C-alpha cells in the first residue's frame, strides 16, 4: 500500500483553508468551530494511531477489553454533549444500560459468530470494529434521546390529556417513543440505501487500498453494516423500553 508523506498530507488541509475563507466571506460565524474541529481531529487521530500501535504490539486481552470499555465511556460522555439538555439520573442510567448492552451484544455476536478471528481477543479485530459499532450506536442514541426530549416537551398537553382519559403512561407516551426510534435508526437506513452505488464505505475502501480482494472487502462491509444496524437497533430498543418511566411518577402522573 502506498504511504502518504507528511508534506502531501499537509497539502490536504487546503480544503480546511478554503472552507474557512468561504465561511468568512458568507459571514457564517463557525470559523472557530472549524479550526477547533480540524485541530482536535488531527491530534485525536495521531494519538489514537500511536495508542493502537502499542495495543496491537501488547496484544493482551485485558488491555483490549479495557480499551473497548473506555470507548463506551467516552461515547456516553459524548451523548451528553451532543444532546445539550439536562438529563435526569434515570435518563443517564438508561443511556448507559442501552448503549453498553446493545453495542456489546452486537460486537460479541459479530466477532464470534460472523468474523471468527484466529485469536478471540485479537485487538486488530476488536478495536476497529468496536469503534464503528459504538460510534454509530452513540449517534443513534443521541438522536433518539434529543428527539424524545423535544417531542415530549412539545406534546406534554397531549400526554396529560391521554392520561386523564384513562390511558396507561406507556400508551400515552408511545407516539413520542416511536418518533425517537424512527429518528435514531434513519441515518443507518439511509447509509444502507446509498452504500455500494452512491459511495463506497470506509472499511471496504480501506481493505481494497490495503490490497484485499474486493469480494473479501464486500463481505466484511456487509457484515459490519449488519452489525452496526443490530447495535443501533438493540441500543435504541432497550433505551425506548426503559426510558419512558422517567416521565412519570409512581402514581402514573406525568412529570415534565
Residues 129-156: tens digit of each pLDDT: 999 999 999 999 999 999 999 999 899 9
**Local structure of 254: helix, strand or coil:** strand
Residues above pLDDT 90, as percent of the chain: 57
Q: What pLDDT, on the 0 to 100 scale, is given for residue 205?
A: 73
Q: What pLDDT, on the 0 to 100 scale, is given for residue 229?
A: 92
Examine the pLDDT at 126 and tell me if it is beyond 90.
yes
Rounded to two decimals, what is the model's pTM? 0.85
Residues 85-105: tens digit of each pLDDT: 788 899 999 999 999 999 999
Q: Which residue has the cell 486481552?
A: 61
Spatial distance between the Cα atoms of 38 and 45, rounded to a whole number of angstroms = 11
Spatial distance between the Cα atoms of 121 and 151, rounded to a whole number of angstroms = 42
55 CB-near residues (< 8 Å, 6+ apart): 63, 64, 67, 123, 127
Instruction: Delimit the domains of the chain by residue range.
Output: 1-58, 61-247
**Ramachandran angles phi, psi of 254, nearest 5°:** -75, 130
User: For the purposes of burial, counting CB atoms within 10 Å of the CB of 206, is it exposed (0-12), middle (13-18) or buried (19 or more)?
Assistant: middle
Amino acid at each position: 500500500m502506498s504511504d502518504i508523506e507528511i508534506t502531501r498530507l499537509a497539502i490536504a488541509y487546503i480544503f480546511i483553508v478554503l472552507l474557512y475563507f468561504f465561511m468568512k466571506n458568507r459571514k457564517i460565524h463557525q470559523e472557530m468551530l472549524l479550526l477547533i474541529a480540524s485541530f482536535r481531529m488531527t491530534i485525536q487521530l495521531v494519538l489514537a494511531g500511536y495508542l493502537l500501535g502499542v495495543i496491537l504490539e501488547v496484544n493482551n486481552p485485558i488491555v483490549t477489553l479495557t480499551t473497548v470499555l473506555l470507548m463506551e465511556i467516552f461515547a456516553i460522555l459524548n451523548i451528553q454533549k451532543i444532546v445539550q439538555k439536562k438529563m435526569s439520573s434515570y435518563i443517564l442510567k438508561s443511556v448507559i444500560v442501552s448503549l453498553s448492552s446493545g453495542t456489546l451484544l452486537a460486537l460479541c455476536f459479530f466477532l464470534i459468530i460472523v468474523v471468527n478471528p484466529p485469536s478471540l481477543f485479537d485487538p486488530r479485530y476488536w478495536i476497529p470494529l468496536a469503534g464503528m459499532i459504538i460510534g454509530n450506536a452513540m449517534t443513534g442514541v443521541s438522536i433518539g434521546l434529543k428527539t424524545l426530549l423535544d417531542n415530549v416537551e412539545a406534546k406534554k398537553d397531549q400526554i396529560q390529556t391521554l392520561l386523564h382519559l384513562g390511558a396507561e403512561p406507556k400508551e400515552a407516551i408511545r407516539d413520542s417513543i416511536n418518533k425517537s426510534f424512527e429518528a435514531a435508526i434513519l441515518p443507518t437506513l439511509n447509509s444502507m440505501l446509498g452504500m455500494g452505488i452512491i459511495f463506497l464505505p470506509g472499511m471496504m475502501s480501506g481493505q481494497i487500498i490495503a490490497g484485499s480482494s474486493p469480494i473479501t472487502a464486500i463481505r466484511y462491509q456487509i457484515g459490519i453494516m449488519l452489525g452496526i444496524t443490530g447495535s443501533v437497533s438493540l441500543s435504541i430498543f432497550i433505551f425506548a423500553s426503559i426510558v419512558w418511566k422517567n416521565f412519570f411518577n409512581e402514581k402514573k402522573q406525568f412529570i415534565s
